[in-house]
Amino acid sequence: MHTVVVGTSGTTAEDVIAVARGNARVELSAEALEALARAREVVEALAAKPEPVYGVSTGFGALATRHINHDLRAQLQRNIVRSHAAGMGPRVEREVVRALMFLRLKTVASGHTGVRPHVAQTMADVLNAGITPVVHEYGSLGCSGDLAPLSHCALALMGEGDAEGPDGAVRPAGELLAEHGIAPVELREKEGLALLNGTDGMLGMLVMALADLHTLYTSADITAALSLEALLGTEKVLAPELHAIRPHPGQGASAANMRAVLKGSELTGHHQDDAPRVQDAYSVRCAPQVAGAGRDTLAHAALVADRELASAVDNPVVLSDGRVESNGNFHGAPVAYVLDFLAIAAADLGSIAERRTDRLLDKHRSHGLPPFLADDAGVDSGLMIAQYTQAALVSEMKRLAVPASADSIPSSAMQEDHVSMGWSAARKLRTAIDNLTRIVAIELYAAARAVELRTGLAPAPASRAAIEALRAAGAQGPGPDRFLAPDLAAADAFVRSGALVGAVEPVTGPLA
């Protein structure tokens, strides 16, 4: 089994995905354990002093003015976890919770939180045991971190609340810990607060969204190329010299992908002879510009994610000179903004894909294809309602593109008077990515059928490879009307798994 070693200097996106999706084992480095011990010494020294220190010997948030006596401090740490574990709604996906737990461990291991090495080791043990706390959809405002989601995870460390075991069954967390020989944590000064104060949930969802969208953008370039081919469009608009004079990196990458897929096609460019067109419609001609802008948005979001992965997000923090200082680094604005940017770009990519699908199905604009790609139009409806489904998904994506980060709602008696709503931005982005996958799958299904209906001229070798793999995956080819949902589900699974890219790259070479 792959092992991820957590040190003091952050982590990588690859490690997050390995733990969240691949169940990689987690280990703390010797450097991290030493840093944890040093920071804990600082916290314990401050705890012994009569002067109040926020998070160590005071209440929290709007209650930070109260000095807490020594005999109540353990209760204070337990109480903050219990009271903040106030989430509601459906359960959050296992991979999201594992990413959240791992990223909180990443910050704890930095040595800036003051948490004991024992607590950090218990966090790693819970991940390695496959125990996943039950976290609910609602409860984070994306400021002071993802408080309620992280609190439910901390509650499980204490042996309280519910968690999912490695067998997928939800049971009391205390029972699961006992079965795996893990002793519940008894929290001390600052530790409860340190387990809750981070942007870990929204960051974990951002990291996974970036991985998913990278594959989807490549898949969308492939389906756009198939649609161009099916519509007898011209590949001249993909020429490198045209994209060099508008040097957006993403645009150039998308155009290069489409050129690679279309290499060797006998279908492109025939409209000049058979049905003169000065130029193709925007949805065909501008595919690299739209997908490329989304790719550049991905690059910016990845830069923000990398910075956040290298960060230690807590309040207060233990600095290397021994000071313990309050700060605002838990504010989720940097992550929230790019989550919203990605939802906007994804909505636009879905929108242009749907326009190409509609063009393939419209006999007045498809340049000789049968209406709705039907076998016997009138008797058969073909892919008419597949486009309806795609349109409904696009419409929902437009609603999901409304920014969450533009909103803010005050909390904690106006102490926390401006919040990021980054968790909400991440949750809606996950829905948008699911929808985009289905939209790309429907364009693929329609474009593949349309290419197959073009007889007499050979498609590009990469196109043939994509279509053959799609058919082998269970999405059937042209013919009389049949129960269509299973075919679309097969196309969805084909795109979602990355199999579309995997089918094309042996022909084209690696795509961007």
- 190, 43 Cβ separation under 8 angstroms: yes
In the chain, the amino acid numbered 229 is: E
Chain centroid to CA 158: 29
- 198, 146 Cβ separation under 8 angstroms: yes
User: One of 54, 138, 337, 388 is an active-site residue; which one?
Assistant: 54
Written as one string, the DSSP assignment of 143-168 is SSSSHHHHHHHHHHHTT-SEEE-TTS
Task: Look up residue 293 and give its two tokens.
Answer: 């802008």
Distance CA 386, CA 390 (A): 6
Distance CA 100, CA 219 (A): 28
Task: Look up residue 246 and give its two tokens.
Answer: 């508008």
Parallel, antiparallel or unpaired: strands 25-28 and 3-6: parallel
Task: Look up residue 399 and give its two tokens.
Answer: 């609603």
Task: Look up residue 481 and give its two tokens.
Answer: 């009307």
Parallel, antiparallel or unpaired: strands 25-28 and 132-133: unpaired
- The dihedral through the CA atoms of 380, 386, 389, 391 has a sign that is negative
Q: Is 54 an annotated catalytic residue?
A: yes
Distance CA 200, CA 335 (A): 10
Cα separations in angstroms, 308 against 31, 62, 469: 21, 27, 39
- CA dihedral of 463, 211, 433, 446, whole degrees rounded to 10: 0
Q: Residue 402: in which H helix or E strand, if any? A: none
Distance CA 144, CA 328 (A): 8
- 73, 188 Cβ separation under 8 angstroms: yes
In the chain, the amino acid numbered 349 is: L
Strand partners, 133: 163
Positions marked active-site: 54
